[in-house]
Chain A
Amino acid sequence: MAKVLVVTSGKGGVGKTTSTAALGAALALQGQKVVVVDFDVGLRNLDLVMGAERRVVYDLINVAQGNAKLNQALIRDKRVENLALLAASQTRNKDALSEKGLARVIKELRAQFDWVICDSPAGIERGAMLAMRHADAAVIVANPEVSSVRDSDRIIGLLDSKTEKAERGERVEKHLLITRYDQARAGRGEMLKTDDVIDILSVPLLGIIPESEQVLRASNLGQPVTLANPLSAPARAYGDAARRLLGETITINVPNERFNLLGRIFGGRAA
């Protein structure tokens, strides 16, 4: 049974695209058939983060408008079997994506893949609403910072009211992913703790991704961080999050790279 998962946040720059790529690759490494779909029409970037920017010929809008077949537009990943990308259009107007055309594409993707991961644009405009429209589940990406948490709360409200599932009286399964977490600063009371964010948003935690230079390194290389450096702290955190999405129970901790000792001295603690 295919699952449509939207990666959303409201606020920009919190790590939606990074998380889409990392979770997509991690799920594919677990043997799942995965497609990552970029919904940021006009400002696509998932192709770049996935390292497929030179292979985009057709995009989501071409398929939705019937100008290309889905299989012509799907870009198969060269590193991981079972992983594919459907890019957004870079040149078209964001209104070019029709609700009806999108519904058809999602239906076709459901038939081919186990996971359809929709990378939402920032904001709460049309593109973001379309990205969450068909979702069975949502990953809400939040930074431990006031504006990100506020916007996440707004997005949660929209997931509960404006999705197809919500309109049928069902619930979109929600998961909170806290990114750019700095355990040492949280330990010193300089940054919201994960417990604070979970309390405020009342959404179960999927994972904590530590702030790490590995994320920028991976995007420089055009590789999901889970492939670029699988043993790095963020890659392990994303890997665990992917396994939780598959239903495994794994204790949540903050993977550390170098700050173990300091963290202990300053009383930093996980979740």
Chain B
Amino acid sequence: MIFFGLFKRRETQPGTAPVARERLQVLLAHERASPRQPNLLGALKEEIIEAIARHVSVKPEAVKVKIERRAAVSILRIAVDIPA
């Protein structure tokens, strides 16, 4: 009985390899598109300050850079206090 039971279970369990393949394809497409840069924010901030400083004199602390990560897109928010 147990013997037949084993065979039966194998037959009713569908192969899971296609699921693995699809999950990997979706995940890697996402990971390749947005490579994790540990210091993306720092690098962006530095270069933004540099670009602004070429035209207006601003203090580094007057530049605020923030990234909001959402499922489909990420939003980059930059706020600069320019002296009047």
Contact = CB atoms under 8 A, between A and B. Distances in A.
Nearest to A145: B20
Interface residues of A, number: 16
Interface in A117-152: 145-146, 149-150
A188 B23 contact: no
A156 B31 CA distance: 12
B72 to A, nearest CB: 21
Contact of A193 (B17, B23, B27): B17
A192 interface: yes
Q: How large is the interface on B (under 10, 10 to 19, 20 to 34, 35 or more residues)?
A: 10 to 19
Contact of B23 (A146, A154, A157, A186): A146
A189 B15 contact: yes
Nearest to B28: A153
A154 B35 CA distance: 9
A189 B17 contact: yes
Contacts of B35: 157
Given A146-B23, A146-B24, 6 more contacts: A150-B31, A153-B32, A157-B35, A186-B17, A196-B17, A196-B21
Interface of B: 14-18, 20-21, 23-25, 27-28, 31-32, 35
22 contacts: A146-B24, A149-B24, A150-B27, A150-B28, A153-B28, A153-B31, A154-B31, A157-B32, A186-B17, A188-B15, A189-B15, A189-B16, A189-B17, A189-B18, A190-B16, A190-B17, A192-B20, A196-B17, A196-B20, A196-B21, A200-B21, A200-B25
Smallest CB-CB A-B distances: 7 pairs? A189-B15, A196-B21, A189-B17, A146-B20, A153-B28, A192-B17, A190-B15
